[in-house]
Amino acid sequence: MMQNDFVISLADMRYVEIHCSHCSTKVTLDMEKPSDFSEKHGVFAPKECPGCRKDFDSAIRPAVDGFQRAYKSLLQIPQSVTFRGTSSREGI
């Protein structure tokens, strides 16, 4: 099994995508610019899929909201923070 190392600068991580397990809709959220939904409801991630209106897994919203808060605080030092990972998936 081949493993590839990859490094991602915080400045390159701008979008997060949520996949609906019911209808395969993908919701892309901009970590730097909250949506109208975010500003209106005070949370970053939606509770339900805009495609089928079924609730996302209940763990998604708090995790994505927490990640967005951490992202915003780390943006003050983007050149000092990188993410490093290892993947055995091809194409990474």
Q: Is 3 helix (H, G, I), strand (E, B) or coil?
A: coil
Report residue 10's pLDDT band, with 50, 70 and 90 as the boundaries.
confident
Tokens of 8: 């991602």
* DSSP designation for 42: S
> Domain spans of the chain?
4-87
The number of C-alpha atoms within 13 Å of 47 and in the hemisphere containing its C-beta is: 3
* DSSP designation for 75: T
For residue range 28-78, list pLDDT tens digits in order. Answer: 999 888 777 788 888 899 999 999 999 999 999 999 999 998 888 888 887
Q: Could you tell me the pTM of the whole model? A: 0.74
**Which residue in the block uniquely carries the two structure tokens 């996302």?**
56
CB count, 10 Å around CB of 22?
12
